[in-house]
């Protein structure tokens, strides 16, 4: 099945927004935070029936940005208007099970560098 504009899937739209939600989105259009402003523009345009491709063209952003906003609204509701931290929750999964060994090695290298600097101050010049 082929949909409009050569797409294989139907266009993505936001779920219906209630009166209070629409009021919050319209208030977000006056926000000083660019992230909140852009998300509100995207969500209101989608609620008005524009496709992600049309929204992206009108706002000069990528369709991926529009899809991210629509998916965030579908999962988090109006909480998606606040930007989340891009910082990882924890580095342990990245470091893996050898993290303790890496920490011990890092400490040993630091200690040996400090001792070397104490013994041979001419190295540090």
The two tokens of residue 27 are 């208030």
Alpha carbon separation from 92 to 86, 95, 100, 106 (Å, rounded): 16, 5, 10, 16
Q: What is the mean pLDDT of the chain?
A: 79
The Cα 72–Cα 66 span in angstroms is 10
The answer to whether residues 88 and 62 touch, using CB atoms and an 8 Å cutoff, is: no
Mean pLDDT of 98-112: 74
Q: Say if pTM beats, i.e. exceeds, 0.95.
A: no
- The string of pLDDT tens digits covering residues 45-94 is 998 889 999 999 999 999 999 999 999 988 888 888 888 887 776 666 66
The answer to whether residues 102 and 109 touch, using CB atoms and an 8 Å cutoff, is: no
pLDDT for position 2: 43
Q: Is pLDDT at 102 greater than 60 in this prediction?
A: yes
């Amino acid at each position: 099945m082929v949909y409009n504009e050569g797409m294989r899937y139907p266009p993505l739209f936001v779920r219906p927004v209630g009166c209070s939600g629409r009021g919050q989105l319209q208030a977000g259009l006056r926000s000083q935070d660019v992230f909140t402003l852009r998300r509100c523009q995207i969500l209101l345009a989608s609620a008005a029936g524009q496709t992600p491709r049309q929204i992206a063209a009108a706002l000069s952003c990528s369709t991926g940005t529009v899809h991210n906003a629509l998916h965030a609204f579908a999962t988090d509701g109006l909480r998606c208007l606040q930007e989340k931290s891009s910082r990882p929750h924890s580095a342990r999964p990245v470091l893996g099970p050898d993290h303790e060994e890496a920490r011990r090695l890092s400490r040993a290298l630091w200690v040996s560098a400090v001792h070397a600097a104490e013994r041979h101050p001419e190295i540090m010049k």
